[in-house]
Amino acid sequence: MNSEKYQELIDKHKPKERRAKNALIAFIVGGIMGIIGQFLIDAYSNLFSISNSDAAVFMIMTLVFIACLFTAFGFFDNWVAFAKCGLIIPITGFAHSMTSSGMEYRKEGPIYGVGSNVFKLAGSVIFYGVVSAWTFGMIRLLIMGG
């Protein structure tokens, strides 16, 4: 086998392996986030003796706080670069995108810097979430009777 053919083979296999590894890391990290979420729900509902749905709100606020704080400390960016969708798809990605764009535009002032850029990435999530929720809500309400 000559070196050119060998190079071709490497190119064919290299990205595929990285994809499999990325997918595995995303699966494991995302799964651990799910376990943390369930653990926090159990902990809060036992600690404050509240219902599971209230504990879920506390859990989401905790995860948002942790993600914002770690982003401000600077090492959450490296975690996201490593785990990719494992941390982007959970609610931590939403919080991370807000804090990181807030930090990025910090030097442009509090109004046109932080205030108007915080929702630069998270805005599309809220925007299309509301549009789809309105559409599907109307479908359920008008066609299926609520």
Q: Which of residues 31-60 bind other proteins (CB under 8 A)?
A: 31-41, 52, 56-57, 59-60
- Give the interface size with other proteins as a residue count (CB under 8 A): 75
Helix axes 76-83, 52-73, angle to 10 degrees: 110
Query: Which residue among 74, 79, 82, 109 contacts other proteins (CB under 8 A)?
Result: 74
Are 22 and 84 in contact, with CB atoms under 8 Å apart?
yes
Which among 102, 41, 37 is positioned nearest to 66, based on CA atoms?
37
Nearer to other proteins, 50 or 60 (CB): 60
Q: Lay out the site mask for other proteins across 14-33 (x = CB under 8 A, - = otherwise).
A: ----xx--xx-xxxxxxxxx
Least Cβ distance, residue 90 to other proteins (angstroms): 5
- The binder of other proteins chosen from 4, 5, 49, 146 (CB under 8 A): 146
Find the shortest distance in angstroms from Cβ 112 to other proteins. Answer: 14
Which of 13, 46, 48, 104 is in the footprint of other proteins by CB under 8 A? 104
From residue 116 to residue 135, the character string flagging contacts with other proteins as x (rule: CB under 8 A) and all else as - is --x--xx-xxxxxxx-xxx-
**Do 37 and 63 form a contact (C-beta atoms < 8 A)?**
yes
Q: How far apart are CA 32 and CA 99, in angstroms?
A: 22
DSSP-derived secondary structure for 29-73? HHHHHHHHHHHHHHHHHHHS---HHHHHHHHHHHHHHHHHHHHHH
Identity of the residue, 6 or 128, whose beta carbon is nearer to other proteins in the bound complex: 128
**What residue type is 134 in one-letter code?**
W
